[in-house]
Amino acid sequence: MYLKPIKIGSLQLKSNIFIAPLAGYTNLPTRLLYRTQGAAIAYAEMISAEGLNYSFNKSVKLLDSYSYDEPLGVQLFGANAQRILLAFLKIKDFKFDLVDINCGCSVKKIIKSDSGASLLRKPEEIYKIISILKQNTDKPVTLKIRSGWDNQSINFMEIFDSALQAGANLITLHPRTKSMLFGGKANWEHIKILKQKSSIPVIGNGDIFTAGDAKKMFDETNCDGIMLARGLINNPFLVEEIIAILEGKTYIQPCLEQRIQVLLTHCKGLVDYIGEQKGIIEFRKYFAGYLKGFPEVKRLREKLNQILSYKELESAIIEYEKFRKNNF
Protein backbone atom coordinates (compact mmCIF):
# COMPACT_ATOMS: atom_id res chain seq x y z
CA MET A 1 0.00 0.00 0.00
CA TYR A 2 1.50 3.29 -1.07
CA LEU A 3 -0.90 5.83 0.39
CA LYS A 4 -1.01 5.84 4.16
CA PRO A 5 -1.46 8.22 7.07
CA ILE A 6 1.70 9.71 8.46
CA LYS A 7 2.46 11.12 11.90
CA ILE A 8 4.84 14.05 12.27
CA GLY A 9 5.37 14.61 15.98
CA SER A 10 1.94 15.58 17.25
CA LEU A 11 0.55 16.16 13.75
CA GLN A 12 -1.45 13.39 12.12
CA LEU A 13 -1.74 13.62 8.33
CA LYS A 14 -4.34 11.66 6.43
CA SER A 15 -1.94 10.65 3.70
CA ASN A 16 1.63 10.99 2.52
CA ILE A 17 1.50 13.16 -0.59
CA PHE A 18 3.11 16.53 0.16
CA ILE A 19 2.95 19.76 -1.84
CA ALA A 20 6.38 21.38 -1.71
CA PRO A 21 7.13 24.94 -0.75
CA LEU A 22 7.65 26.71 -4.08
CA ALA A 23 8.72 30.34 -3.94
CA GLY A 24 6.67 32.35 -6.39
CA TYR A 25 4.09 29.56 -6.79
CA THR A 26 2.52 28.11 -3.64
CA ASN A 27 0.55 31.21 -2.73
CA LEU A 28 -2.79 30.85 -0.95
CA PRO A 29 -5.16 30.41 -3.94
CA THR A 30 -2.81 27.98 -5.65
CA ARG A 31 -2.43 25.88 -2.50
CA LEU A 32 -6.19 25.76 -2.08
CA LEU A 33 -6.57 24.50 -5.61
CA TYR A 34 -3.91 21.79 -5.27
CA ARG A 35 -5.42 20.73 -1.95
CA THR A 36 -8.79 19.89 -3.50
CA GLN A 37 -7.16 16.90 -5.21
CA GLY A 38 -6.33 15.21 -1.92
CA ALA A 39 -2.77 16.18 -0.94
CA ALA A 40 -1.96 15.56 2.73
CA ILE A 41 -0.29 18.91 3.38
CA ALA A 42 0.78 22.01 1.50
CA TYR A 43 3.57 24.45 2.32
CA ALA A 44 3.56 28.18 1.90
CA GLU A 45 6.42 29.75 -0.06
CA MET A 46 9.65 29.93 1.94
CA ILE A 47 9.83 32.96 4.23
CA SER A 48 12.96 34.90 5.05
CA ALA A 49 13.78 35.08 8.76
CA GLU A 50 15.46 38.42 8.14
CA GLY A 51 12.39 39.57 6.23
CA LEU A 52 10.26 38.84 9.29
CA ASN A 53 12.84 40.44 11.56
CA TYR A 54 13.23 43.66 9.54
CA SER A 55 10.05 44.18 7.52
CA PHE A 56 7.46 42.04 9.22
CA ASN A 57 4.35 43.43 7.52
CA LYS A 58 5.65 42.68 4.03
CA SER A 59 7.02 39.21 4.72
CA VAL A 60 4.11 38.04 6.81
CA LYS A 61 1.86 38.31 3.74
CA LEU A 62 3.31 34.94 2.71
CA LEU A 63 1.58 33.49 5.75
CA ASP A 64 -1.90 34.47 4.57
CA SER A 65 -4.19 31.54 5.12
CA TYR A 66 -7.84 30.50 5.54
CA SER A 67 -9.27 28.04 8.02
CA TYR A 68 -9.56 25.41 5.28
CA ASP A 69 -5.96 25.94 4.13
CA GLU A 70 -4.79 23.16 6.38
CA PRO A 71 -2.65 21.36 7.31
CA LEU A 72 -0.17 24.07 6.45
CA GLY A 73 3.62 23.92 6.55
CA VAL A 74 5.58 27.11 7.07
CA GLN A 75 9.17 27.14 5.91
CA LEU A 76 11.78 29.59 7.15
CA PHE A 77 15.20 30.32 5.74
CA GLY A 78 17.90 32.07 7.67
CA ALA A 79 21.57 31.97 8.56
CA ASN A 80 21.62 30.93 12.18
CA ALA A 81 19.62 29.77 15.15
CA GLN A 82 19.29 33.13 16.89
CA ARG A 83 17.96 34.96 13.82
CA ILE A 84 15.59 32.15 12.92
CA LEU A 85 14.29 31.97 16.49
CA LEU A 86 13.70 35.72 16.58
CA ALA A 87 11.65 35.46 13.38
CA PHE A 88 9.82 32.37 14.54
CA LEU A 89 8.72 34.00 17.79
CA LYS A 90 6.97 36.70 15.76
CA ILE A 91 4.81 34.15 13.93
CA LYS A 92 4.65 31.41 16.53
CA ASP A 93 0.95 31.90 17.23
CA PHE A 94 -0.16 32.13 13.61
CA LYS A 95 -2.28 29.36 12.20
CA PHE A 96 0.06 26.73 10.78
CA ASP A 97 0.82 23.14 11.58
CA LEU A 98 4.54 22.62 11.27
CA VAL A 99 7.68 24.67 10.84
CA ASP A 100 10.29 23.56 8.33
CA ILE A 101 13.84 24.82 7.93
CA ASN A 102 15.10 25.36 4.42
CA CYS A 103 18.53 23.75 4.04
CA GLY A 104 18.37 23.27 0.30
CA CYS A 105 17.72 26.52 -1.53
CA SER A 106 20.64 27.09 -3.90
CA VAL A 107 19.63 30.46 -5.33
CA LYS A 108 22.66 32.80 -5.34
CA LYS A 109 21.05 35.48 -3.20
CA ILE A 110 20.07 32.96 -0.53
CA ILE A 111 23.51 31.35 -0.50
CA LYS A 112 25.11 34.79 -0.20
CA SER A 113 23.08 35.38 2.93
CA ASP A 114 24.46 32.11 4.42
CA SER A 115 20.99 30.59 4.31
CA GLY A 116 19.33 27.70 2.46
CA ALA A 117 21.86 25.18 1.16
CA SER A 118 24.69 27.08 2.90
CA LEU A 119 23.55 25.36 6.07
CA LEU A 120 24.57 22.02 4.55
CA ARG A 121 28.14 23.03 5.36
CA LYS A 122 27.25 23.63 9.00
CA PRO A 123 25.53 20.59 10.51
CA GLU A 124 26.23 22.06 13.96
CA GLU A 125 24.16 25.15 13.08
CA ILE A 126 21.33 22.92 11.87
CA TYR A 127 21.49 21.18 15.24
CA LYS A 128 21.19 24.55 17.01
CA ILE A 129 18.31 25.72 14.83
CA ILE A 130 16.23 22.60 15.31
CA SER A 131 17.01 22.45 19.06
CA ILE A 132 16.08 26.04 19.73
CA LEU A 133 12.84 25.78 17.78
CA LYS A 134 11.93 22.58 19.59
CA GLN A 135 12.43 24.41 22.88
CA ASN A 136 10.05 27.14 21.75
CA THR A 137 7.14 25.33 20.14
CA ASP A 138 4.97 22.25 20.44
CA LYS A 139 4.50 22.22 16.68
CA PRO A 140 6.52 19.69 14.71
CA VAL A 141 9.91 20.97 13.54
CA THR A 142 11.18 19.55 10.26
CA LEU A 143 13.89 20.22 7.70
CA LYS A 144 14.29 20.01 3.95
CA ILE A 145 17.78 19.31 2.68
CA ARG A 146 19.84 18.44 -0.36
CA SER A 147 22.40 15.63 -0.42
CA GLY A 148 25.32 17.94 0.24
CA TRP A 149 27.16 20.98 -1.05
CA ASP A 150 28.87 19.24 -3.97
CA ASN A 151 29.92 15.76 -5.04
CA GLN A 152 32.99 15.94 -2.83
CA SER A 153 30.93 16.71 0.25
CA ILE A 154 27.84 14.52 0.26
CA ASN A 155 26.81 14.71 3.91
CA PHE A 156 23.06 14.12 4.14
CA MET A 157 23.57 11.39 6.76
CA GLU A 158 25.64 13.70 8.95
CA ILE A 159 22.96 16.37 8.68
CA PHE A 160 20.28 13.82 9.45
CA ASP A 161 22.18 12.74 12.61
CA SER A 162 22.44 16.35 13.81
CA ALA A 163 18.78 17.02 13.11
CA LEU A 164 17.68 13.80 14.78
CA GLN A 165 19.69 14.53 17.91
CA ALA A 166 18.14 17.98 18.00
CA GLY A 167 14.65 16.47 17.90
CA ALA A 168 13.55 16.96 14.27
CA ASN A 169 10.21 15.33 13.53
CA LEU A 170 10.62 14.71 9.79
CA ILE A 171 13.20 15.13 7.06
CA THR A 172 12.67 15.78 3.36
CA LEU A 173 15.53 14.99 1.01
CA HIS A 174 15.95 16.43 -2.48
CA PRO A 175 18.92 14.29 -3.48
CA ARG A 176 20.87 16.70 -5.61
CA THR A 177 23.85 18.67 -4.38
CA LYS A 178 23.80 22.44 -4.10
CA SER A 179 26.25 22.59 -7.02
CA MET A 180 23.87 20.67 -9.27
CA LEU A 181 21.12 23.27 -8.82
CA PHE A 182 18.40 21.55 -10.91
CA GLY A 183 20.76 19.85 -13.37
CA GLY A 184 21.41 16.15 -13.76
CA LYS A 185 19.18 13.63 -12.04
CA ALA A 186 18.08 13.40 -8.43
CA ASN A 187 19.92 10.45 -6.87
CA TRP A 188 17.07 8.52 -5.24
CA GLU A 189 19.60 6.04 -3.80
CA HIS A 190 20.32 8.70 -1.15
CA ILE A 191 16.68 8.66 -0.08
CA LYS A 192 16.81 4.88 0.22
CA ILE A 193 19.95 5.06 2.40
CA LEU A 194 18.40 7.73 4.60
CA LYS A 195 15.17 5.78 5.01
CA GLN A 196 17.08 2.65 6.07
CA LYS A 197 18.63 4.55 8.97
CA SER A 198 15.86 6.93 9.92
CA SER A 199 13.53 6.65 12.89
CA ILE A 200 11.58 9.74 11.76
CA PRO A 201 9.53 9.98 8.56
CA VAL A 202 11.55 10.48 5.38
CA ILE A 203 9.93 12.34 2.51
CA GLY A 204 11.38 11.75 -0.94
CA ASN A 205 11.55 14.69 -3.30
CA GLY A 206 13.06 15.27 -6.72
CA ASP A 207 12.05 14.51 -10.30
CA ILE A 208 8.52 13.25 -9.69
CA PHE A 209 6.75 14.36 -12.85
CA THR A 210 4.28 11.52 -13.40
CA ALA A 211 2.29 9.01 -11.38
CA GLY A 212 4.78 6.41 -12.63
CA ASP A 213 7.63 8.42 -11.09
CA ALA A 214 5.74 8.61 -7.79
CA LYS A 215 5.24 4.84 -7.69
CA LYS A 216 8.88 4.30 -8.60
CA MET A 217 10.01 6.66 -5.83
CA PHE A 218 8.08 4.61 -3.25
CA ASP A 219 9.26 1.29 -4.72
CA GLU A 220 12.91 2.22 -5.02
CA THR A 221 13.41 4.14 -1.78
CA ASN A 222 10.74 2.85 0.62
CA CYS A 223 10.24 6.49 1.64
CA ASP A 224 7.35 7.37 3.96
CA GLY A 225 5.92 10.00 1.67
CA ILE A 226 6.63 12.01 -1.44
CA MET A 227 6.83 15.74 -2.08
CA LEU A 228 5.78 17.21 -5.42
CA ALA A 229 7.29 20.40 -6.79
CA ARG A 230 8.00 21.20 -10.47
CA GLY A 231 5.77 18.32 -11.50
CA LEU A 232 2.80 20.31 -10.21
CA ILE A 233 3.71 23.38 -12.20
CA ASN A 234 3.97 21.23 -15.33
CA ASN A 235 0.76 19.39 -14.56
CA PRO A 236 -1.66 20.96 -12.07
CA PHE A 237 -3.63 17.69 -11.99
CA LEU A 238 -0.65 15.62 -10.84
CA VAL A 239 -1.91 15.01 -7.30
CA GLU A 240 -5.19 13.44 -8.40
CA GLU A 241 -3.39 11.37 -11.02
CA ILE A 242 -0.87 10.05 -8.50
CA ILE A 243 -3.54 9.24 -5.94
CA ALA A 244 -5.64 7.36 -8.50
CA ILE A 245 -2.72 5.32 -9.80
CA LEU A 246 -1.37 4.53 -6.33
CA GLU A 247 -4.84 3.35 -5.35
CA GLY A 248 -4.76 1.01 -8.34
CA LYS A 249 -7.49 2.87 -10.21
CA THR A 250 -7.58 3.81 -13.86
CA TYR A 251 -6.91 7.50 -14.33
CA ILE A 252 -8.50 9.38 -17.19
CA GLN A 253 -6.77 12.66 -18.01
CA PRO A 254 -9.10 15.65 -17.61
CA CYS A 255 -10.67 16.74 -20.89
CA LEU A 256 -10.34 20.26 -22.27
CA GLU A 257 -13.59 21.44 -20.62
CA GLN A 258 -12.46 20.19 -17.21
CA ARG A 259 -9.04 21.78 -17.64
CA ILE A 260 -10.58 25.08 -18.59
CA GLN A 261 -12.91 25.00 -15.61
CA VAL A 262 -10.01 24.51 -13.18
CA LEU A 263 -7.83 27.00 -15.05
CA LEU A 264 -10.50 29.69 -14.69
CA THR A 265 -11.02 28.88 -11.00
CA HIS A 266 -7.28 29.19 -10.43
CA CYS A 267 -7.05 32.48 -12.30
CA LYS A 268 -10.12 33.89 -10.51
CA GLY A 269 -8.61 32.86 -7.17
CA LEU A 270 -5.46 34.85 -7.93
CA VAL A 271 -7.47 37.83 -9.17
CA ASP A 272 -9.59 37.87 -6.01
CA TYR A 273 -6.49 37.52 -3.87
CA ILE A 274 -4.07 40.08 -5.33
CA GLY A 275 -6.23 42.19 -7.60
CA GLU A 276 -7.22 41.95 -11.24
CA GLN A 277 -4.14 43.03 -13.19
CA LYS A 278 -1.62 41.48 -10.85
CA GLY A 279 -3.64 38.28 -10.69
CA ILE A 280 -3.86 37.98 -14.48
CA ILE A 281 -0.13 38.59 -14.87
CA GLU A 282 0.66 36.15 -12.07
CA PHE A 283 -1.53 33.50 -13.68
CA ARG A 284 0.54 33.53 -16.89
CA LYS A 285 3.19 31.35 -15.31
CA TYR A 286 0.67 28.62 -14.48
CA PHE A 287 -1.13 28.68 -17.82
CA ALA A 288 1.16 26.31 -19.77
CA GLY A 289 0.54 23.46 -17.33
CA TYR A 290 -3.18 23.44 -18.05
CA LEU A 291 -3.19 23.18 -21.82
CA LYS A 292 0.13 21.53 -22.59
CA GLY A 293 -0.06 19.53 -25.81
CA PHE A 294 -3.33 21.04 -27.05
CA PRO A 295 -3.26 22.47 -30.59
CA GLU A 296 -2.92 26.19 -31.24
CA VAL A 297 -2.09 26.89 -27.61
CA LYS A 298 0.87 29.05 -28.55
CA ARG A 299 -1.43 31.54 -30.22
CA LEU A 300 -3.77 31.54 -27.23
CA ARG A 301 -0.83 32.11 -24.93
CA GLU A 302 0.37 35.08 -26.98
CA LYS A 303 -3.12 36.51 -26.74
CA LEU A 304 -3.29 36.00 -22.98
CA ASN A 305 0.03 37.78 -22.59
CA GLN A 306 -1.69 40.95 -23.88
CA ILE A 307 -4.74 40.64 -21.65
CA LEU A 308 -5.12 42.34 -18.27
CA SER A 309 -8.73 41.69 -17.26
CA TYR A 310 -10.40 38.51 -16.10
CA LYS A 311 -13.38 38.99 -18.41
CA GLU A 312 -11.16 39.22 -21.47
CA LEU A 313 -9.19 36.20 -20.36
CA GLU A 314 -12.35 34.19 -19.87
CA SER A 315 -13.63 35.20 -23.32
CA ALA A 316 -10.34 34.27 -24.98
CA ILE A 317 -10.36 30.87 -23.31
CA ILE A 318 -13.99 30.17 -24.21
CA GLU A 319 -13.32 31.24 -27.79
CA TYR A 320 -10.41 28.81 -27.88
CA GLU A 321 -12.63 26.04 -26.54
CA LYS A 322 -15.22 26.69 -29.28
CA PHE A 323 -12.54 26.85 -31.96
CA ARG A 324 -11.14 23.55 -30.81
CA LYS A 325 -14.55 21.87 -30.77
CA ASN A 326 -15.22 22.99 -34.34
CA ASN A 327 -11.82 22.10 -35.73
CA PHE A 328 -10.61 18.92 -34.05
Ligand X SMILES: Cc1cc2nc3c(=O)[nH]c(=O)nc-3n(C[C@H](O)[C@H](O)[C@H](O)COP(=O)(O)O)c2cc1C
173 near ligand X, rule: CB under 6 A: no
Q: What share of the chain is helix, strand, coil (3-state, %, to 5)?
A: 50, 15, 35
Binding to ligand X by CB under 6 A, coded x per residue (else -) over 80-99, reads --------------------
Scanning 57-65, 101-109, 131-139, 309-317 for contacts with ligand X by CB under 6 A, the matching segment is: 101-109
123 near ligand X, rule: CB under 6 A: no
Q: Compute CA distances 64 → 27, 32, 85, 94, whole Å.
A: 8, 12, 20, 10
SS3 (DSSP) at 267: helix
- Footprint of ligand X on 191-250 (CB under 6 A): 205-208, 228-231
Nearer to ligand X, 200 or 203 (CB): 203
- Answer yes or no: are the C-beta atoms of 61 and 45 closer than 8 Å: no
Residue 105 annotated as catalytic: yes
Helix or strand run (H / E) with residue 163: helix 156-166
Q: Are strands 72-77 and 47-48 parallel, antiparallel or unpaired?
A: parallel
Scanning 21-29, 132-140, 291-299, 307-315 for contacts with ligand X by CB under 6 A, the matching segment is: 21-29
Distance in Å, CB of 226 to ligand X, minimum: 9
Nearer to ligand X, 44 or 313 (CB): 44
Nearer to ligand X, 24 or 184 (CB): 24
116 secondary structure, DSSP code: G
Integer Cα distance of 222 and 200 in angstroms:
13
Scanning 27-35, 100-108, 192-200, 239-247 for contacts with ligand X by CB under 6 A, the matching segment is: 100-108
Residue in 79, 86, 143, 84 with CA at minimum distance from that of residue 111: 79
17 near ligand X, rule: CB under 6 A: no
35 near ligand X, rule: CB under 6 A: no
Catalytic choice (103, 105, 223, 267): 105
- Answer yes or no: are the C-beta atoms of 97 and 31 closer than 8 Å: no
23 near ligand X, rule: CB under 6 A: yes
Residue in 273, 274, 298, 276 with CA at minimum distance from that of residue 288: 298
What size, in residues, is the chain?
A: 328
24 near ligand X, rule: CB under 6 A: yes
Integer Cα distance of 285 and 283 in angstroms:
5
Nearer to ligand X, 22 or 133 (CB): 22
**Contact with ligand X (CB under 6 A): which of 37, 48, 59, 102?**
102
Distance in Å, CB of 157 to ligand X, minimum: 19
- Answer yes or no: are the C-beta atoms of 53 and 87 closer than 8 Å: yes
Using only C-alpha atoms, the chain has a radius of gyration, in whole angstroms, of: 20
Distance in Å, CB of 315 to ligand X, minimum: 30
Residues that bind ligand X (CB under 6 A): 20-25, 45-46, 75, 102, 104-105, 144, 174, 205-208, 228-231
Residues belonging to the active site = 105
